[in-house]
Structure 1
Amino acid sequence: KLIKTKMTLKAEVEKLAIAAKQTRDRVDSVQAAAHEDRRIVANLRKQVEQLTDKVTNMEDRSRRNNVQLVGLPKGVEGSNPAGFLRANLSKWIPALKGRGIEIERAHRVYDGRKSNSKRPRTFIFRVLRWQDRSAILKGARQAYLEKYTQDNVTLLFFPDFSPATSARRRSLKPVLWRVTALGLRPFLIYPAIIQLRHNGEQMIFDSSQKAEDFISSLPQKHLNCPGEEYNNVDMDI
């Protein structure tokens, strides 16, 4: 009887050992599959990021000749916005006098605000030549602040980028303000890179954190509210 019991126990132990091995094999298989799934997901995520970057770059290129005009009072452009701009650009930006700028199209853009908002919608226009866009933005920085004389409102000119690139550039505004308030002149390079010169050395920051770390290492001056001074920051075009 004792021998029979031992044989029974041995058989049960062997069954348990087999079951345990099968369980380990299944766990190993699941872990291997999970590892492969993670690898596939990582590759897909990388591909999505690459495709997103490519689409963003293509959209930015399609907007290469566009200029955003902020602050223009509602309706002053009348029924011929392109003609209105041709007649007034050199008045707002003296550097454009004598330059025959060809404007392909111009229109207001919907930005999500309520129709009864007091702030006028952004005005976007497209010039025929990239060199003219460059001249407009450069001249606007030199002529800052531009005024629309009839209502004495400030006009601001900006490059036009895709929503993704615009969001990245907007995220740098607090850092650009701090750098400008410290007496430095930052330059914002496409797509969203800060470049400046300090003590004769050219410095480049590809993230706001790196720029913040640099600012923290400098003697801190009193920082005044910049208002619209952000428009004085040099933008790549």
Structure 2
Amino acid sequence: MDLAAFDLEGFVDSRPAEPPEGRLACHDTALWCGLTKLLYDYSNTTITIEDNTRLLYKVEDLENRSRRSNLRIVGIPKKTEAQDPVSFMLSFFAEILGSDFFPTPPVLDRANRIGPASADKERNWPRVFIVCFHYHRDKGQVARRRGEQLYFRGNKVIQDHSANTARKRSAFNAVKGKLHEKKVKFGIQMPALRLWVVHDGTRVFFDSPEQAQTFYDRHFT
């Protein structure tokens, strides 16, 4: 084929070439638009995460408030309560606290076991008991005595918290045990879930077990 006679018209772009500066400007504009969109999406994502965090905190706070009049009793043998769990729990508190602890018997809204029964007959542990006091002050009196650690025939009485709150509280258990051995006064601030420790007559607050452990190592070892 004679290339000299071949008409290239129609195959070659006859428009003048765009100067490099113009192409770079287009690329810069496209890049800027892309970055702007990414920043916008990131900003919206950050706002969404913050909103979700606030909502989760509110839900957890509401759940804990709904449980504030509850006490959880672990390990009470099966069928001990017979057919009247409320009457059983009234006698339960009279036994562990003393019959004169309450001037009049507390009012209980309900008392029942929670959770499914174990399918393993060899490890069929008794289900947890939840007791709901009608008046929060009555539950508060028991909870304050709980600082002495209350037991009923070997069964521990503990407060009822949401699963997430219980998990956060248990994260401080190791350092709390060490503080207890040193006879240092401490507690958990609710609903912030911060550990506080009395040092030189002042309460010091910690947001994490690591902070508390560092403080313990510095001042109590």
TM bucket normalised to smaller: 0.7 to 0.9
| Residue 142 (structure 2) aligns with | 136
TM norm structure 2: 0.83
Question: CA-to-partner distance for each residue in 1:132-180, whole Å, 9 max, x for gaps?
Answer: 10111222333x35232xxxxx222222122222221122212211221
Secondary structure at the counterpart of residue 101 of structure 1? coil
| Residue 90 (structure 1) aligns with | 94
Secondary structure at the counterpart of residue 180 of structure 2? helix
Alignment gaps of 5+ in structure 2: 1-15
**CA separation of 1:103/1:46 partners in 2, compared to 1, >3 Å: closer, same or farther?**
same
Q: Is the 8 A contact 2:110 2:133 kept in 1?
A: yes
| Residue 169 (structure 1) aligns with | 169
Cα distance, 1:51 vs structure 2? 1.0
Q: Is the 8 A contact 2:150 2:157 kept in 1?
A: no
Matched, 1:120 2:130: no
- List structure 1 runs of 4+ shifted beyond 4 angstroms: 111-115
| Residue 199 (structure 2) aligns with | 198
For the residues of structure 2 that align with 1:43 and 1:199, how far apart are their CA atoms?
41
Please list, as runs of the form range in 1=range in 2, the aligned pairs for 1:210-225 lying within 5 A after superposition.
210-220=211-221
Q: Is the 8 A contact 1:96 1:135 kept in 2?
A: no
For the residues of structure 1 that align with 2:104 and 2:196, how far apart are their CA atoms?
30
Q: Is the 8 A contact 1:140 1:146 kept in 2?
A: no
For the residues of structure 1 that align with 2:156 and 2:113, how far apart are their CA atoms?
15
Please list, as runs of the form range in 1=range in 2, the aligned pairs for 1:68-107 lying within 5 A after superposition.
68-94=72-98, 96-107=101-112
Q: Is the 8 A contact 2:117 2:127 kept in 1?
A: no
The two structures, once aligned, show a CA RMSD in angstroms of 2.3
Structure ID, larger Rg? 2
Aligned residues: 204
- Counterpart code for 1:195: W
For the residues of structure 1 that align with 2:93 and 2:109, how far apart are their CA atoms?
14
Question: CA-to-partner distance for each residue in 1:51-106, whole Å, 9 max, x for gaps?
Answer: 11111111111111111111211221112111100122111122635441111111
For the residues of structure 1 that align with 2:71 and 2:117, how far apart are their CA atoms?
19
For the residues of structure 2 that align with 1:53 and 1:200, how far apart are their CA atoms?
31
For the residues of structure 1 that align with 2:178 and 2:124, how far apart are their CA atoms?
29
For the residues of structure 2 that align with 1:167 and 1:111, how far apart are their CA atoms?
21
- Counterpart code for 1:78: A
For the residues of structure 2 that align with 1:136 and 1:54, how far apart are their CA atoms?
27
| Residue 53 (structure 1) aligns with | 57
Secondary structure at the counterpart of residue 72 of structure 1? coil
For the residues of structure 1 that align with 2:50 and 2:137, how far apart are their CA atoms?
35
| Residue 29 (structure 1) aligns with | 33
| Residue 113 (structure 2) aligns with | 108
Cα distance, 1:118 vs structure 2? 4.3
Cα distance, 1:201 vs structure 2? 2.5
Identical-pair percentage: 19
